[in-house]
Amino acid sequence: MPEYRRWYLEGGTYFFTLVTADRALLFRQDVARAALRDSISACAQNHPFVVPAIVLLYDHLHLILSLPSGDDDFSTRLASIKANFTRKYLSAGGEEQSISESRYRRGNRGVWQRRFYEHLIRDMDDLHRHLDYIHYNPVKHGLVRCPHAWEHSSFHRAVERMDYEPAWGCCCGGRVATPMEFGWANDDME
């Protein structure tokens, strides 16, 4: 059995990928997007954190989460978000994927993949690469041609804060967009 090791750093900033069970296209539904938004907000009230960036695609999401000083417990936060989302989504009539009998006995539901991808942000260059990855992800997946065209992203907030130019990564109006390189070979993050 593989041994998973997490790197916990008090006050750390992390990049996460969470994927739906069987890559179900849950986040095409308004009810799923609302349940996720509510679940993140509820968790932040009980276990404070800041979300510098997020993108929601149909079957997965990426987010950067910054923990408060003296706190390294991102696992409780992600478990809370996933559990709260699952309750809200299913109670609103959302459907789950089939799961094995053993997963059912352990109390798992067919909404999320069991694990998540996590990466500790090491420095400002690493942060900027992951911010760019998040904001360009809908283009990478062929959902839109430009980052600004995807409404389920923090890109719009970043433009308002002047962290990005509105035309960053854009190919509208005859612009030629250069394919993005993110400086890592691991494409497991999807």
Identify the pLDDT of residue 104.
72
C-alpha 15/C-alpha 28 separation (Å) is: 23
CA 86 to chain CA mean position, Å: 16
Residue 173: predicted pLDDT: 77
Q: Are 134 and 62 in contact (CB under 8 A)?
A: yes
CA distance 114 to 125: 30
Distance CA 133, CA 70 (A): 28
Q: Compute and round to an integer the Cα radius of gyration of the chain.
A: 17
Sequence-separated (6 or more) residues with CB below 8 Å from residue 108: 99, 114
For residue 133, the one-letter residue type is Y
| Two structure tokens written together for 145 | 């041609």
Q: Which residues pair with 63 in a beta bridge?
A: 16, 54
Give average pLDDT by consecutive 10-residue segment, the chain, 190 residues: 74 96 94 97 97 97 97 96 95 83 74 91 95 95 94 96 91 73 54
State pTM to two decimals: 0.88
- pLDDT (0 to 100) of residue 35: 97
Are the beta carbons of 107 and 93 closer than 8 angstroms? Answer: no
Helices 74-91 and 30-46: angle between axes, nearest 10 degrees: 140
Phi-psi region at 78: left, alpha or beta (left = phi > 0; alpha = psi -120 to 50): alpha
> What local confidence, expressed as pLDDT, does residue 4 receive?
63
CA 168 to chain centre: 20
CA distance 114 to 101: 15
